[in-house]
Amino acid sequence: MRGAARYGIEHELALLYPDGSLADFAVLTHDAVAAIVDELPDFPDGQRDLRIGDAGIRRKHWYAEGYERLGDDGELARFDPKGIEIRTAVHDSAAAAGAALTAAASRLAEVARRHGLRPVAVGHHPLRSSYRLDPPPNAHERALMASSPEERTAPLHMVTWGPDLNLSFPGAGTDPAVLADAAAKLTHYSPYLVPWSFSSPFRDGRPWGGLSARTFRRTGLRPAALAYLEPGAPLLPTDPSLVRHAGIPGEIGRIEFKAFDAVPVIEGEEPAAGCGTGLPGALLSLLTGLLRDGTLPGRRRTPDPAAHRRSALLGWTDAAVRAGSRAVLAAAETALRAEPDHAGGLALLRERLERRDTPAARMLDRYRSGGGIAGVAP
């Protein structure tokens, strides 16, 4: 992909109560989340490239994230929240998108604190492995769930958190084949991209044996990457989807990477000391370099479940996973040699890789030292 790139970030966060327990869909109400969002400012000029949605929940840069239960008439009947999502406007650099996210996350943390809640970046629910639709889906909801692979597996997202990192290259055009190829490249190399973000070493109240329960459970059922095409463009029949039609004009040409675990943006979101910040912008640089690279040949229309599970279980302790991560990082560094604005982010990723340093590893170290599990009250 050539030409100037544009960037946006969507950042999902879980919420903790003062006692350290997770404020999840079983106890958290939409009103409680709405009270936080209501205190946050409107940014009407920043909404040109952002979708609001039929229910009107996504009317700000912060909104309640969760599951919409619909009535027989298709109208919103109930909203079960799993946390709060932040989304930035579209920016002309990865650094600017990262800075906008940091500012929004800091403001959210300040307001949430007044409501007795703290945002935290974890990839998988530390206690629950499923979200049960109660009551069971009605006819309208069943029809919606049958409309796409993503709608069918939507309940799974209620026990996971992760960012959507969005890139577009306006000068490269909107050819569906080019966009699908970009998404297929990210999908192929996803098992080697995701370890930088791993933040879900706990499940069902204990270590599950790996580093990313989110990756292990959902990648393959849900997309690693999506490309957004002009309405009316032909769609590839894949399960999960690789391409979909844009819902608003600002989405046309967008390439969205969806497979990372949630990563901290500000220090207060850290699930364990030392996880560090700056990862979202660095990962945007990595994706940019991988899409600019012309040497790596791999393409997949659907994620490789076995490769993702190996990566989720072993991370960089596995020589093949480590080699794959080194290869994508080296390709990105070479492709971005003439774009020095990306150098700092890529250096951060190289340092993390060489030290095999992930949020999940730090969370496990904290647990083994008696520090407990983020989201589980002591």
What residues have CB less than 8 Å from 122, skipping those under 6 apart? Answer: 14, 161, 199, 200, 261, 262, 271, 374, 375
Cα 168 off chain centre by: 17
The secondary structure element, H or E, covering residue 32 is helix 30-39
pLDDT the model gives residue 60: 87
What residues have CB less than 8 Å from 179, skipping those under 6 apart? Answer: 227, 228, 229, 243, 253, 255
Alpha-carbon gap, residue 311 to 313, rounded angstroms: 5
Cα 243 off chain centre by: 17
Size of the chain in residues: 378
The pTM (predicted TM-score) of the whole model is 0.94
Indicate the SS3 state at residue 141.
helix
pLDDT the model gives residue 55: 47
pLDDT the model gives residue 273: 86
Place of tokens 């000068």: 171
Contacts 24+ apart (CB under 8 A), 23-28: 23/83, 23/117, 24/82, 24/125, 24/127, 24/128, 25/66, 25/67, 25/80, 25/81, 25/82, 25/131, 25/158, 26/128, 28/81, 28/82, 28/83
The structure tokens listed for 145 are 């769930």
The structure tokens listed for 186 are 């990210």
pLDDT (tens place) for every residue of the chain, 378 residues total: 999 999 999 999 999 999 999 999 999 999 999 999 999 998 665 556 666 655 455 678 999 999 999 999 999 999 999 999 999 999 999 999 999 999 999 999 999 999 999 999 999 999 999 999 999 999 999 999 998 888 999 899 999 999 999 999 999 989 999 999 999 999 999 999 999 999 999 999 999 999 999 999 999 899 999 999 999 999 999 999 999 999 888 899 999 999 999 999 999 999 998 888 899 999 999 999 999 999 999 999 999 999 999 999 999 999 999 999 999 999 999 999 999 999 999 999 999 999 999 999 999 999 999 999 999 998
pLDDT the model gives residue 42: 81
The structure tokens listed for 377 are 């009250």
Cα 128 off chain centre by: 19
**225-229 vs 243-245, strand pairing mode:** parallel
pLDDT the model gives residue 148: 87
pLDDT the model gives residue 54: 52
From start to end of the chain, where are the E strands?
6-16, 62-70, 76-87, 118-120, 164-168, 202-203, 206-207, 225-229, 243-245, 255-257
Place of tokens 């109240």: 205
Domains of the chain, first to last? 6-368 (3.30.590.20)
The secondary structure element, H or E, covering residue 376 is none
End-to-end alpha-carbon separation of the chain, Å? 49
Q: Left if phi > 0, otherwise alpha if psi is -120 to 50, otherwise beta: which for 220?
A: left
pLDDT the model gives residue 196: 98
pLDDT the model gives residue 46: 52
